[in-house]
Amino acid sequence: MQLCSLFLVYLICIPALLVAKSSLKTVKGVEDFESTFYSDQSGLPYLSILYRTASSSRPKLGFLKFGISFLKLEHLHIRLDLRHAPPKQLLLMWDQLMMKKAIRYASIEPIHLALIDQGGAMLNFDATNGKFKSSGELCLWDKVVCSKAQKTQQFDKVLIAYDIRLNALIVTLGRDDLNPIILPFPNS
């Protein structure tokens, strides 16, 4: 499941491709970033990204400084419409982004994620913290509020991964979720 949710990293780090080819300093200089992507087939928007600020730091351990910069995105809002999203294109962009080390150490505080399924129903997530795991999953934690239609629930942790076999997002609500939500992409 190494390709799990690979495109989700793309969603969070698209500013790195649009704003800075290789410089993290350029990304952190961007404030109030907003971008929308449209489907080639329908012309409808499938992805909207908005964040307030991006910053980087090189933490110290005693008198030693880490050689890796840690990227932090603040107040990230993502809206992904699975009815129009091209998963192959998102995965291709992910491969390009994985070459950048800063992506692997990105954190998000707070994050709002809206996923629109094939039927048009919206699944919203609001979390205090978000981060990508080495397996490629997007991990939301620390009071994750999930709402769909009129139902709202709170979880300590939510995992979102891309399953290439199913061509779908797999949403695991809580640590012991035996029936994760499967959100398929359109067949392409």
Containing structural domain, residue 81:
6-58+69-184
Residue 82 lies in a domain: yes
Statement: residue 185 has pLDDT above 70: yes
What's at 16, amino acid-wise? A
Residue 133 lies in a domain: yes
The pLDDT, as a whole number, for residue 93 is: 63
Q: Which two tokens stand for residue 59?
A: 């933490």
Torsion of CA 166, 151, 83, 52, to 10 degrees: -100
Residue 64 lies in a domain: no
pLDDT tier for residue 134 given thresholds of 50, 70 and 90: low
Statement: residue 15 has pLDDT above 50: no
Q: Which two tokens stand for residue 42?
A: 């329908």
Mean pLDDT of the chain: 78
pLDDT tier for residue 9 given thresholds of 50, 70 and 90: very low
pLDDT in tens, 18-51: 433 334 445 556 688 899 989 888 899 998 989 8
What average pLDDT score do residues 148-153 get? 92
The pLDDT, as a whole number, for residue 24 is: 42
Residue 140 lies in a domain: yes
Residues sharing a CB contact under 8 Å with residue 127, sequence separation 6 or more, in sequence order: 110, 111, 113, 140, 141, 142, 143, 144, 145, 158
What average pLDDT score do residues 56-67 get? 69
Residues sharing a CB contact under 8 Å with residue 61, sequence separation 6 or more, in sequence order: none
pLDDT in tens, 66-124: 666 677 888 999 999 999 988 877 767 665 655 555 556 678 899 999 999 999 999 99
What average pLDDT score do residues 49-68 get? 75
Residue 1 lies in a domain: no
Residue 63 lies in a domain: no
Residue 44 lies in a domain: yes
Q: Which two tokens stand for residue 65?
A: 């400084």
Residue 32 lies in a domain: yes
What's at 59, amino acid-wise? P
Tally of structural domains, the chain: 1
